[in-house]
Amino acid sequence: MIIQVNTANMALLECFSSETRVRMIELLDRSQMSIKELAAELGVSSAIVTKHVQKLESAGIIGTESISGARGRLKMCRLLPEFVTLQLRTPTAPNANVYTVSLPIGQYTDFKVKPTCGLSSELSIIGLADDPRYFWAPDHVKAKIIWFASGFLEYRIPNYLMGGQKATSITITLEICSEAPGYNENWPSDISFHMNGTLLGTWTCPGDFGAQKGIFTPDWWPHGTQYGLMKTITIRKDGTFLDGIQLSALTAADLDIKPNDEMRFRLSCPDTGAHAGGISLFGRHFGNYDQEIEVTVTYE
């Protein structure tokens, strides 16, 4: 999660101004806890913890779920983002040339996948699970969750450049995790990102998350993968970064994207990798973030 430091994001920034809230984040980093358990650890009342939980939840830092306990309902809390990156400088000047595109995850243009695999809309599974043929079913464009054990998905990012314009940065944000049969919280997967056939870099996802329900995952969805991690890939003038950490030395100038050039973005997980743990990709109505693949292109 990348947060611009400005007054519009005060609700999130204020979450870190309280020692109690920071201690809650430390506790939830170890495991999910109920409000009563947090109160006991912190030595404060459940009412105070509830107020802090409401603030953290509204900022998207924690998620909560009501479950049955031995003495009634329990409100369980869990940490959502893996990290928060604070961006101090405005990424583009106020008059910068920029356009944004939301790519539905079902609108891929090419694929090659192996089971376990499948895709589903927010209403039902599309075709049959573990049968790659259904990845070309007409309804594949409606997919809101896609999973496969190995292979790739490829998307075409619209190129709206004109004249002598050239892309100076490309930012891609998506929710993603590994893919294990059912789910496995400790299931590392080497996921690679490519642009126009060029490797941008590889990230090892720690697992396939299903122990807690995804915030937006439909109630009908069978027990299994529930949510992913929000990742942001940025190709800039000084290299390619994943959540602000340099992934490779490849720059926007190396891609040299001009009007009419293709922008083919590929997610891949080869079965020959050190951690061949597959890919699960989330769109709207699934996971913890209600979004598709979001792309921002700046140019000059």
Query: What's the pLDDT at 181?
Result: 94
Q: List the chain domain ranges.
A: 2-79, 91-299
The pLDDT score that the predictor gives to residue 36 is 92
Taken as a whole, the chain contains a residue count of: 300
Structure tokens at 291: 């979004």
- Assess whether pLDDT exceeds 80 at residue 135: yes
Q: What are phi and psi of 135, to 5 degrees?
A: -70, -15
pLDDT tens string 232-280:
999 999 999 999 999 999 999 999 999 999 999 999 999 988 999 999 9
**pLDDT exceeds 70 at position 90:** no
pLDDT of residue 82: 78
- pLDDT value at residue 91: 57
Pairing of strands 72-79, 33-34: antiparallel
pLDDT of amino acid 1? 64
| Residue-level pLDDT at 58 | 84
Check residue 141 and give its pLDDT: 97
Question: Is CATH 3.30.1360.120 the classification given to domain 2-79?
Answer: no
Q: How far apart are CA 165 and CA 163, in angstroms?
A: 6
Average pLDDT over the chain, rounded to whole? 92
Q: For residue range 13-35, list pLDDT tens digits in order.
A: 999 999 999 999 999 999 999 99
CATH code reported for the domain at 91-299 = 2.60.120.260
Total-model pTM: 0.76
Phi, psi (rounded to 5 degrees) for 155 = -125, 150
pLDDT at 96: 66
